[in-house]
Every structure is written in C-alpha cells, then in structure tokens.
Amino acid sequence: MTDSANSMWGGRFAAGPDAIMEAINASIGFDQRLAAQDIEGSRAHAAMLAATGIIEASDAEAIREGLLTVLSEIEAGTFQFSTALEDIHMNVESRLKELIGEPAGRLHTARSRNDQVALDFRMWVRDQCDVASNGIAALQKALLAQAETGADWVMPGFTHLQTAQPVTWGHHMMAYVEMLGRDASRFADARARMNESPLGAAALAGTSFPIDRNMTAKELGFDRPSANSLDAVADRDFALEFLAAASICAMHLSRLAEELVIWSSAQFRFVAMSDRFSTGSSIMPQKKNPDAAELVRAKIGRILGATVGLFTVMKGLPLTYSKDMQEDKEQVFDAADNLMLALAAMEGMVGDMSANPDALRSAASSGFSTATDLADWLVREAGLPFRDAHHVTGRLVALAEDKGCDLPELSLDEMKSAHDAITDGVFDVLGVDNSVRSRTSYGGTAPDQVRAQIARWKTQLED
C-alpha cells in the first residue's frame, strides 16, 4: 500500500506515512462523491491538451476511453478505493494507469490537484444548486395546491402567536411560496457567480503550456474561466454561498415545520397530518406525532452548523491553497443531503395534509380578530383620527371581554356607548368573511388577491 502511494509521488519521499498521518491526510472516504465531476473535468482537460497539441490525439483518446471505464467501475460499485492514494484524483489516475499505461501520465500535464479539486468541488456544488431549486419548486407547487383549495377559507392571522386579524388559508400558504421563491433566487444567484472555471490555474500561478482555458470552460458548462489563478485555487466562496442559501432555506422550512407541529395538535386541530409522515407512541395509543415535521424543524441546526464550520476553516487562510481546505467538503455534503431530504419531506407533508376549515373559521372568529376592522370603520365612516378610533375600539373590546362575547355580538346601543357616531353599518365589517374580503390592497389577504398571486406563481413555475 505504501509502495503504491510512493509511486504516485516519485522519489521525493523515501518512506510512507504512518497510520495516523495516512488517516488524517486521506480524503477518499468522502471525496469519492466527486468521482463523476473529476472524470468529466479530466476528459475535458485531455481533449483540450490534444486540441492544443500539448499531447498526442492518440493519448487523449486512450485517456478518454480509460476514464469511461473507470467511471463505469465506480458506478457499478466494483472500483477499489485506496486510502493510501489519499483522494479521488489520485485514485482515478492510478486506476487509469493500470488500464492504459503510459498515456495516463500525460493527463496531469498543465494542471495541479489544486485547480482539479477546485473544479470538481465547484461543479458538484453547482449541481446541488440545481437540485435545491428543483426541490424548492416541487414544494412551492404543493403549497400552491393547498392555497388554491383554501383561497377563501378564513383562519386567524397571528402576531406574537396571538390572534391578530383574519386572513385566508390560501394567503398563509402563499407566504411560504414567497419565502421559498427568495430561496430559489439565492441559489440561482450563487450558481451564476460560481459559474467560472478554475481549471488551468494549475497549482497557483497558471502554466507555461499553451492551454485553452476557454475551451475547457465551455465544455464543462461554465460561462468563462476564472480571471486570477491565485483566487481560482483559493476560492471557496461558492461553497459558502451555497451553505448560506441552504441555511436560510432550512430556516424557512423550520418555521413551516413549527406551524405544522402546532396546527396538528389537539389544541389547534387546524390540520391533520397523514400517517405517512407521522408516528405513534410506544406507550400512549392515542398519540399521532408529527415526527417528520419535528425532524425538518431540527435540520437548520446541522446546516447552519456546517455554514459556521466552513467560515471558520476559511477565515484565516493566506493565499492560496492550504490543507485546511480539505475540511470544506464533508460539511457541504452533509448540509446538501439534509437540505434535499428536508425539502422532500416537507413537500410530502404539505401535499398530504388536510386542513380543517371549520376549526380555522372558529379560531378566526375568536380573540376579537376584527377589532382593526372596527377601528378602520371609525376612521372611514365616523371621521375619527386613527388613534382615537384605536381607543374607542379598545373600550369595546374590553366591554365584549367582560360580557364573554365577540365584537359582532355587541348590540348597537352597546357600541354607541363607546362613541355615539357608531351606526348599524359597523356590523357590515365585523364578520371575518367581510374582514378578509376588504383587504384588497396588493399582497393582501382578500381571496381575489390570493387567487391572483396563485396564478402569477403558477405561470412563473411553469416558465
């Protein structure tokens, strides 16, 4: 095993590393996930080397065929990864040499493991931005379906988790569609910024070979090659941006998960979660626990932890590459895996859950939720300054509370006891349905506004 490792490094090292050094130095246990990107990058590099006359076309063809064989072995699960060879790059190159012999040694001309790993990791993260965007879109569609079904179902809107004003179920669902839309835009922005190829930066200073970096950039789907070789190998901003976007997205998922936990409780009964995303209790037969929602709620911890971890790794590194940067991948891999799992689980929960319109309406009608409508009526119809209207409404809320009733149940005489300008027209605004229908400002909770936003998002997601 040691001889194999030494053969990759030539004559500089006379003895192999001991077991501890091998264990801390090797990354093949996790960076084998970059195999497809590593081989794709190597194929593009070999084609460019042949096109520029740096290597023979016959060698490039042998390399291409050999790399395809290596990829098929990895995909079939028959490839033997070696810790002694440290990482995915050396494992692939070693196997390539076994397959095609001398031409394999020409593959690494005009590149370094520094630009190679920067390329592989950047391509992998770029792919994850696309996967995240697809997962977000799927969840948005599930939310849109819920919103369309309940565009005019009345429910309480909350501030401080206290009943504030009536809103619609559709409006509440659409709030998360908007949040997720911003998440998708962050992944798209990050993807656009990271879409520069570091291949050709070599170790740190570029290369004296007449390479064509535009050719490899285009072949690998990048917009352009990176403009500074030092920055190209030292940069991990792309991973940090991905993690930052993932953290915000996971935070949004956690907020929705918390609402599902609350709403599915016996105290709220706003929604019923499907059996597919619930569990029972080992001792209490009546229990139906929203475990999937609780686990999604917790994912922000490890995703944000990965973000902080990578920031900490990168914060003090001088240009350009340091071995510290080997610690960049496991955290990103874990965060990506857990974000995609959380998105898929949330899509399933939202798609399967059943809202309870009666419980929503009952809750919306409690807690003096139309008090603001009364204050607004006093401003519009009685000409009171809003602050005065606020005080009058507060007195009527106190009166209703003393009587154990809601505002619409007060008599006109009781209303007039707070201000004699009140007429029976006030009762037209006090019902929860009247309240939500009146919120017609752009972005408001009126059902027509909600349906307009649903239509806009449907078109946007189709596009």
Q: Is position 229 annotated as part of the catalytic site?
A: no
* Token reading at 422: 């009140």
Q: Is position 281 annotated as part of the catalytic site?
A: yes
Which of 265, 281, 322, 366 is catalytic? The answer is: 281
* Token reading at 256: 């929705």
Which of 160, 208, 282, 441 is catalytic? The answer is: 160
| HEC per residue, the chain | CHHHHHHHHCCCCCCCCCHHHHHHHCCHHHHHHHHHHHHHHHHHHHHHHHHCCCCCHHHHHHHHHHHHHHHHHHHHCCCCCCHHHCCHHHHHHHHHHHHHCHHHHHCCCCCCHHHHHHHHHHHHHHHHHHHHHHHHHHHHHHHHHHHHHCCCCEEEEEECCEEEEEEEHHHHHHHHHHHHHHHHHHHHHHHHHHCEECCCCCCCCCCCCCCCHHHHHHHCCCCEECCCHHHHHHCCHHHHHHHHHHHHHHHHHHHHHHHHHHHCCCCCCCEECCHHHCECCCCCCCCCECHHHHHHHHHHHHHHHHHHHHHHHHCCCCCCCCHHHHHHHHHHHHHHHHHHHHHHHHHHHHHHCEECHHHHHHHHCCCCCCHHHHHHHHHHHHCCCHHHHHHHHHHHHHHHHHHCCCHHHCCHHHHHCCCCCCCHHHHHHHCHHHHHHHCCCCCCCCHHHHHHHHHHHHHHHHC
Question: In this structure, what are the phi and psi dihedrals at residue 370, rounded to the nearest 5 degrees?
Answer: -100, 15
Distance (Å) of CA 1 to CA 12, 29, 82, 125, 266 = 17, 16, 8, 32, 62
Q: Which residues are catalytic?
A: 160, 281
